[in-house]
Amino acid sequence: MLRVSRSLTVCLSLFGIASSLPLTLAQESDKEAVIKTSQAWNDAFNRRDLEAYGRHMSDGFVGTTDEVPPMTKAALIHFLSGRPLEYVQRKEAHDFDVHIFGDTAILTYAFTSFNAWGDTMIKFPSRRIEVFKKNGGGWLAVASQQCYVPTNHRTPIDIDSKVLMDYVGEYDWPRHDVRDIDKYRIEDGQLMGEWRGDKRQFLPMQKDTFFTRDDLGWTTFVRDPQGRVTGYVYHWADGQEIMAKKIR
């Protein structure tokens, strides 16, 4: 075994700290630069300054969203040329998180997309992932993915709190995995559901039909001829359905 003196060990430790420090500071500097680049890129988007917008993107850039197929840099700039300022604005950006991998950076953040339809303003909580490559002293966007964060804006109806007791119990999904047991209970006069540790309030849309704020789908409880709840059907927003059976 190689032995080293205590003083040499301390010296080597300090050398290790000193040699790693510039890298850490460089990474932090790169993270700040990536966020600033992204903010400048989005500012150009909001101002429809397409020349400045394009300068932040590589020629091989590709971007996707929930609504459109992948778009190249040229296709995206052409698309934005017909979108006036008031049509779409990205605002209230927050929750920035950057990961640096050599000359590649991955940035994620949340923001609100403001979409104007005449006098009607629609707001969508959204998230973006942006990938940047280091180009000289700066960063260029090479890819992005944007999606809406589901938020249900339906208005719940009033319902007799006594009726809520009909839905209390446990429900089993078709694959019969004990981790999928869905539990419903009443808390402070509200119907609460818990699935895989995730607890949410269920708000009534109509008799036997409920929704949650963070999901675009809805749940319809099923009754037998005697009026007893025997299960529910969960309706995905895209039209797919799945049945859960009440087991206790």
Per-residue pLDDT 10s for the chain (248 aa) are 333 333 334 333 433 433 344 546 667 899 999 999 999 999 999 999 999 999 999 999 999 998 888 999 999 999 999 989 989 999 999 999 999 999 999 999 999 999 999 889 999 999 999 999 999 889 999 999 999 999 999 999 999 888 999 999 999 999 999 998 999 999 999 999 999 989 999 999 999 999 999 999 999 999 999 999 999 999 999 999 999 999 99
Give the E-state strand segments of the chain in sequence order: 57-65, 71-72, 88-101, 104-117, 120-135, 138-148, 169-172, 182-187, 190-195, 198-206, 209-211, 218-223, 229-235, 241-246
Domains of the chain: which residue ranges?
13-148, 161-246
Domain 13-148 has CATH 3.10.450.50: yes
> 234 to each of 172, 216, 221, 224, how far by Cα in Å?
12, 11, 9, 17
> In 3D, which of 57, 65, 115, 67 has the Cα closest to residue 89?
115
What pTM was computed for the model?
A: 0.75
Q: What is the CATH number of domain 161-246?
A: 2.40.128.50
